[in-house]
Structures are given as structure tokens and as C-alpha cells.
Structure 1
Amino acid sequence: MRIGYARVSTADQSLDLQIDALKADGCERIYTEKASGGKDDRIELQRALDTLRPGDIFVVYKLDRLARSTLKLISTLDEIKKRGVEFVSLSDKIDTSTAAGKALFGMLAVFAEFERNVIVERTKAGLAASRARGRSGGRPKTDQRKVAKALKLYDTGTHTVTEITETTGVTKATLYRAIKERQGR
């Protein structure tokens, strides 16, 4: 089965061009979405991916309709490949059922790995530069006196969690974590 996915970023944009192209390509089912490509929780994309079965072909109008970053694109394409599904991008002329399409997919994977490695190198260099200036990385240490005060206020039952966090400066996450630790979980 040919399954199509079309996406535009905003509600005032039209999906017509993409839908027409997907229909012309023979897509039997088309999932549409009006959401930013940067969002990881695109419901219709996930529904489309969940319907894929081995032997299906997943079709998009253009690669950027599927993902904004190279890393996200590769991880999505890798998920599609693991399901035994071929991938087609109409405008980009990519079809993983052909030798050229598979080669292009392999090159994309290489670039994604390169991008990930560059990010890791930059992060390490930034941390080293911070340490050289006497700064240490990580989260600041939690003031245990503030946490103890927050727990006492919590135990009284007369204050909301928001009031406690505003009064003590302890975050909700820290307060809830302290409550769980105290209960032995």
C-alpha cells in the first residue's frame, strides 16, 4: 500500500499541492497535518508511521515535510526502513526501492552522523573552555536547608505546592523528588 503524508507549518497554509501530488503518485491513504516540522509530537505523522506494514511505500511530497533536522529525518527514515517499508520523496526524487535511492539514503545517514559528531565536539570544547575559566558544568547544587523547609511546609497541609515553591525557591520537581525519597520510593 502507498501511504502518503502531507504537512504545512501553519493553519493558513494550504495542503492542496502536496495532496494532489500524493494522489497522482497513487497513494491510497494520505495523512495530513498542520504543525511545525520542528515538533516531535506530530500526531498524524505518528498515525501514518503506525499504519506502515512490510512491503508498504511511505510517500512525502518533499523531505522537509517529514523533518526539519537531518538527525530527525534520518531517525524517521531508519524507523521506516526497520519496518520493511520503502520511502519516496516526490520532489527530491528519492526512492529507496532503487539503487540510487538507497545510495542517497546512505549518504544522508553519513551526513547525519557527521552532524551529530560535530555537535558532540562543540559541546566538549565549550565545557572545556568553561572549566578553563573556573566554571563547573551541571546543575547547581540544591540547598538542602531550603528543601527541608519546603518539606515542613508541605507536611502542614496548609500551603499549595505553588506557594511552597514561591516561598522557598525550591522547584516543583525538586520538592516532589524529595517527597518520593522520603517515602523510600
Structure 2
Amino acid sequence: MLVGYARVSTAAQNEALQSDALNREGCERLYVDRCSGARASRPELDRMLDALRSGDTVVVWKLDRLGRSVGNLVDLMNRFQRMGVNFRSVTERMDTATPGGILIFNVFASMAQFERDLIRERTHAGLAAARARGRKGGRPSKLSDKDKRRIRELGASRALTIREIADKYQVSRQTVYNTIK
């Protein structure tokens, strides 16, 4: 059986493009998630995985619709292999029922990992360059230096509880703990 899986990142997006392509491929059953791929829980993906049987083929419109990371894709592919399930991606023209399809998947997986590593490297380099220019990342503090000194004094004197200090300065308890440290 050909089983289609589609995913859109938000409920406002329309899965019609993916569904139409999967129907043209001959999918007999479609599972559609309407959530970010970064979410660990994707209910329709889980339902599809439970329903798959040996000999089935999972079809997606595009590789990134199935996995949230290269590691996740590789895990899913290994699971499919153990189950005797093939995988096909319409856009990338990949079909793991063939040796060439397995090779293509591994090349795509390696390239995606390489791209992520480059992005991480550039991000770290950019942050280091910004720090070298004296820029500090993150949200500006709600507390002035005077407020921070007073919070440390109140914490040391135990005149108020952490919750009372947080309420007084309209910050979280964690901010009070971090300031006291």
C-alpha cells in the first residue's frame, strides 16, 4: 500500500499542494499533521507508524516534511527498514526500494547535516565577533544596577522571601535567584 504523509507548520497553512501530489502518486491513505516539524509529538505521524505494515511504501511530497532533523530522518528510515517499509520522496525523486534511492537518501542526509554544521559555525563566529565589538546578546535587563544591589541586600538579610522580592521588582523568582548569585 502507498501511504502518504504531509505536514504543514501551522494550522493556517494549507496542505493541498502536498495532498494533491500524494494523490497523484497513488497514495491510498493520507496522514496530515498541522504542527511544527520541531515538535517531538506529531500525532498523525505516530498513527501512520502504528498502521504501517511490511511491504507498504511511505510517500512524502518533500523530505523535510517527514523529519525534523537529519538524525530524526535517519531514525525513521532505519525504522522503516526494520519494518520492511519503503520510502519515496516525490520532490527529491528518492525511492528506497532501489539501491540508488538508498544512496540518494544518504547523500541528502549528509548534505543536510553539513549545511546545519555550517550554519552553526557561522552563528558562533557571528556571536564571537559581536562580543569582540562589545555587544552583549540577550534581552536587556529589567533591573538597574541599583535594583540588583538592593535585591542582593534583601536576599542576604532575609527580610523578604524570594517571591516577595520578585513581586516587588516585577521579575520572576529565577531572576531574583540569578541576581543574588
TM-score by length of 2: 0.62
Distance 1:134 1:11 in 2: 41
- CA shift for structure 1 position 57: 3.3
Q: Using the alignment, how far apart are the partners of 1:175 and 1:54 within structure 2?
A: 54
Distance in 2 of aligned mates of 1:127 and 1:54 = 48
Cα distance in structure 1, aligned partners of 2:167 and 2:178: 17
1:32 to partner: Cα distance: 1.8
What do the CA deviations read for 1:101-159 (whole angstroms, capped 9, x no partner)?
A: 1121121122122212212321232233133224566899994753775886547xxxx
Task: Give the whole-Å Cα distance in 2 for the aligned partners of 1:121 and 1:65.
Answer: 25
Aligned mates of 1:52, 1:153 — CA distance in 2 = 58
Q: Distance in 2 between matches of 1:123 and 1:171?
A: 29
Please tell me whether residue 44 in structure 1 is matched to residue 46 in structure 2.
no
* Residue matched to 2:168: 167
Q: Distance in 1 between matches of 2:12 and 2:138?
A: 39
Query: What percentage of aligned pairs have identical amino acids?
Result: 35
Q: Tell me, which stretches of 5 or more residues in structure 1 are unaligned?
A: 156-160, 179-185
- The aligned counterpart of 2:75 is 79
CA RMSD of aligned residues (A): 4.2
Q: How many residue pairs are counted as aligned between the two chains?
A: 164
Flag structure 2 segments of 5+ consecutive residues without an equivalent. none
